Amino acid sequence: MTRIRKAVIPAAGMGTRFLPATKAIPKEMLPIVNKPSIQLIVEEAAAAGIEQVVIVTGRGKTEIVDHFDAHPALEDLLRRGGKEALRQEVIRPTQLVKLSTVRQQRPLGLGHAILCARELIGDEPFVVFLPDDLVDAQVPCARQLMDVYDATGKSVLALMNVSRSETSQYGIAAGDVDPSDPRLLHIKTLVEKPSAEEAPSTLAVVGRYVLTPDIFDYLAKTNPGRGDEIQLTDALAAMAKDHGLHGWLFDGERFDAGDVGGYLLANLNWARKTPRLWDLVQQYVKSHQR
């Protein structure tokens, strides 16, 4: 089995769900406590054992690249001021993985964004991280999928259960549960954002995928689908028929950081990890309870 070393983070979207905050700032740079949300994604990738990350960017996304680049003037300033811990925080994003970027020149959809990374990924399996999906887990969500891939050799995507009223916000998968592991699904059907009536199940795709490089041929053949965009889900549905595709009910808590409510909850979740901040939140809630 080829070892997984690379990942793609599509980050070319305009962030319209978050206007006006995202008028002049990439949504991936909005902070979760004191880190841009995309840093949490790259940290998950590094913790999962990923060595190289390709970020698919577009117009107005240069701050993302700057964030993962060295900043010698700032590092010097912090060193001279004796602020070593802060200096380490500034250096950290540069040390996580080897980073490259590729531009998606037109907003033709998530599937097209992944296809833009084809040359940089080459002929090896890779992980896709959708940066809106933040997952807090003991074992990084991507690592859980990589372990399934290592055991099966097939592409695998992260799944979670949602209510029927929410199916129209997600890719929805249906298939057969593996006889020896209730969390492993052999996917037979995959539909992008079906209505509650049309949804073949309530198993929603979360933005973590391990993909074999065959996906690129399927993406190249995929016609625009829902929203007139080239959908990764459609290419995966076609690939599932020929090569098989797995779903994994991952362990962990997922936050939709691309949604204002989900973003707020993500901030609370990560604030909980710093006792001083969590005390502040609790005091605030207590004093504002009706």
Q: Tell me how far apart the alpha carbons of residues 121 and 232 are, in angstroms, rounded to a whole number.
A: 16
Nearer to ligand G1P, 126 or 170 (CB): 170
Nearer to ligand G1P, 4 or 11 (CB): 11
Planar angle of CA 155, 50, 241, nearest 5 degrees: 10
Question: Which of the ranges 38-46, 138-146, 173-181, 203-211 carries the binding residues for ligand G1P, by CB under 6 A?
Answer: 203-211
Question: Which of the ranges 52-60, 64-72, 129-137, 144-152 carries the binding residues for ligand G1P, by CB under 6 A?
Answer: 129-137
**Site for ligand G1P (CB under 6 A): which residue of 7, 96, 159, 206?**
206
Q: Tell me how far apart the alpha carbons of residues 189 and 107 are, in angstroms, rounded to a whole number.
A: 26
Q: Among candidates 116, 100, 153, 160, which has minimal Cα distance to 135?
A: 160
- Contacts with ligand G1P by CB under 6 A: the residue count is 12
Q: Does 53 bind ligand G1P (CB under 6 A)?
A: no
Nearer to ligand G1P, 7 or 204 (CB): 204
Question: Which of the ranges 20-28, 112-120, 127-135, 260-268 carries the binding residues for ligand G1P, by CB under 6 A?
Answer: 127-135
Q: Tell me how far apart the alpha carbons of residues 209 and 121 are, in angstroms, rounded to a whole number.
A: 14
Q: Tell me how far apart the alpha carbons of residues 215 and 237 are, in angstroms, rounded to a whole number.
A: 10
Q: Are 106 and 6 in contact (CB under 8 A)?
A: no
Query: What residues make contact with ligand G1P under the rule CB under 6 A?
Result: 110, 130, 132-133, 170-171, 192, 204-207, 233
